[in-house]
Structure 1
Amino acid sequence: MAFHIKNLEAEALARRVAALKRTGLTEALHTKHELEREQPRPSLLEIGVRFCRDLRARGKPDHGRPADKTFRDSLYEND
C-alpha cells in the first residue's frame, strides 16, 4: 500500500533515514529519532574544548578583592 507525505521536510528526513539504514520508507517512518542517532556525536574532548572557549569568552569577572580567610570565615559566623 502506498502512502503520501504532504510535508516536504518530513519526506526528506524519511528518505535520509531510509538511505542511512538501507530500508524502505515505511520502516524509516516507524523508527523514531534514527536520524539523530546516526549523526556523529561530539567527543568529550570536543565538548570540553567548547566549554572552555565559551567560559573564556565570558571574560574574567571583577569582584573587587580576592576571597581571603577573613571573608570566608565571615560567611560561617552566626550573628
Structure 2
Amino acid sequence: MSLYIRDDDVDALAKKVQQVTKAPTKTEAVRRALENELARVEQAVPLKQRVEKIQNSVRAKMGPNKPEFDMKKFTDEMWEI
C-alpha cells in the first residue's frame, strides 16, 4: 500500500525527517515518525493506567486467582525440599 503526500509542507517535513534520521525512504521516515509519536502519546498515559492495562491482560491469560494456592508448598515440592 502506498503513502501519498499531497501537501507540499508535509512532503518537505517528510524529506527533512528522512535526511535527519538517515531513513532509506520517505515512507520509512514517516513510519518511524508515526511510531515515535505513538510511543510519546502512550508514555503520556499515567503509569498507574499502563500498569493496570498490563495486569488486566495477564489476569485474562492466567485465569482466575486461586487464593488457596500455597506458593511455598509448590516451590518446596518443585525443589524437592
Aligning the two structures, in what range does the TM-score lie when normalised by the shorter sequence? Answer: 0.3 to 0.5
Which structure is higher in RCO with an 8 Å CA cutoff and minimum separation 6? 1
TM-score by length of 1: 0.43
TM-score by length of 2: 0.42
